[in-house]
Chain A
Amino acid sequence: MGQESFITPEIADMIGKEEVFSSPEEIGRATIRRFAVAVGDPNPLYRDEEFARKTRYGGIIAPPTMIFELNYNIGVELEEDGGYADRITLPPPLTNFVRGGNEYEIFQPVRPTDKITVKRKISEIYEKKGKTSTLVFVIIEIRYINQEGEFLGTNRETLIFMPSKGS
């Protein structure tokens, strides 16, 4: 209708394919403390073992949204822009993206001993007319599971892709 759709068969084909990343090591207390420092959260539950032991958790846990914010695919090559080579991208001209939203559901606290497996798939791709160009919305469903097979949480992420100014 007037303008052609940006969603080519190649892009539509990305829907529904699950990818799995397994972290080779436990999260560890250092990751939790460094994350808490980086976001400026002084809660002792994330860094003071003695304090944390006396709480209902019996030990240090991670800030509630931390597992959704970490990347686990370390070891995967980085591209020129600093992004991981296996991250979700769309073919040109849709090479610019911003984050549209995140919906987190948290099932249990994350502990330093958790080894995380991430299962990621695209559930939906659609386009909308933006102010200056068409925007392509990619909805990604990500599930987080530990080494015991316990379900830690889910993250429904919206990325918004648009034509790059440079292309």
Chain B
Amino acid sequence: MDSKKLFFEDVNVGDEIPPILKEVTLVQNVMYSAATWDFHRHHYDKEFAESKGFPGPFVDGQMFGAFLAQMITQWVGVDGVLKKLGLTYKIMAVPGDVLSCKGKVTGKYTEEGENLVNCEMWIENQRDETIVAPAQALLALPSKSSK
């Protein structure tokens, strides 16, 4: 796959991060429950979720962190490092939703020899409702001068 590499010099404030689309399904909720050892019925049991006053099973919010991390790592390549990721969850995502993960560069600076980039990101569903916002990432990127 990607031998591509994003250098610090190639990034500018205002740049858009190539967005990714993630369709979430009930099957994926079950896979995620199994993979993370989180077996809460919220995420796959319709009757249970409804009995608690939720519209139905919903996606574990932490999955959105994995989605944004995927968007970032696909963009920067193997030599970029995600150092911080912050997420605020707005409304739930439910199976069948198609989620657009988007973001842009909000800052770049060098500190203690590291080339750092700040990004702001968000996730919307197919109805343009905000699922995650704001989300922030701090990345370290390689420099052309040091390679």
Are the C-beta atoms of B41 and A81 separated by less than 8 Å?
A: yes
Chain B contact surface mostly: mixed
Q: Give how many B residues have a beta carbon under 8 Å from the other chain's beta carbons.
A: 43
> Does B7 belong to the interface (CB within 8 Å)?
no
Please provide the chain B residues from 22 to 43 with a CB less than 8 Å away from any CB of chain A in the complex: 22, 28, 31-32, 34-42
Q: B88 to A100, Cβ gap below 8 A?
A: yes
Contacting chain B: which of A6-14, A40-48, A116-124?
Answer: A40-48
Roughly how many angstroms separate A105 CA and B48 CA in the complex, as a whole number? 34
Structural contact, B53 and A64, CB atoms closer than 8 A: no
B19 within 8 A of A: no
Tally of A-B residue pairs with Cβ under 8 A? 125
A104 close to B84 (CB less than 8 A): yes
B51 at interface, CB cutoff 8 A: yes
Which residues of A lie under 8 Å from residue B89 when comparing CB positions? 98-101
Report the separation of the CA atoms of residues A38 and B51 in the bound assembly, to the nearest whole angstrom: 27
A68 adjacent to chain B (CB < 8 Å): yes
In this complex, what residue of A is CB-closest to B88?
A: A101
The answer to whether B34 and A43 touch across the interface, beta carbons within 8 angstroms, is no
Residues of A within 8 Å of B60, CB to CB, are 99
Q: How far is it, in angstroms, between the C-alpha of A103 and the C-alpha of B83 when the chains are bound? A: 11
Which of A's residues lie within 8 Å of B, judged by CB?
31, 34-35, 37-45, 51, 55-57, 63-66, 68-72, 74, 78, 81-83, 96, 98-106, 164-166
Question: In the complex the two chains form, is B34's CB within 8 Å of A34's CB?
Answer: yes
CB pair B36–A55 under 8 Å, yes or no, is no
> Is A64 in contact with B82, judged by CB distance below 8 angstroms?
yes
A83 touches B40 (CB 8 A): yes
- 15 inter-chain pairs at a CB distance below 8 angstroms, sorted by A residue, are A39-B32, A41-B70, A41-B73, A43-B2, A44-B1, A55-B78, A64-B85, A65-B85, A71-B37, A82-B39, A96-B52, A102-B62, A102-B65, A102-B86, A103-B84
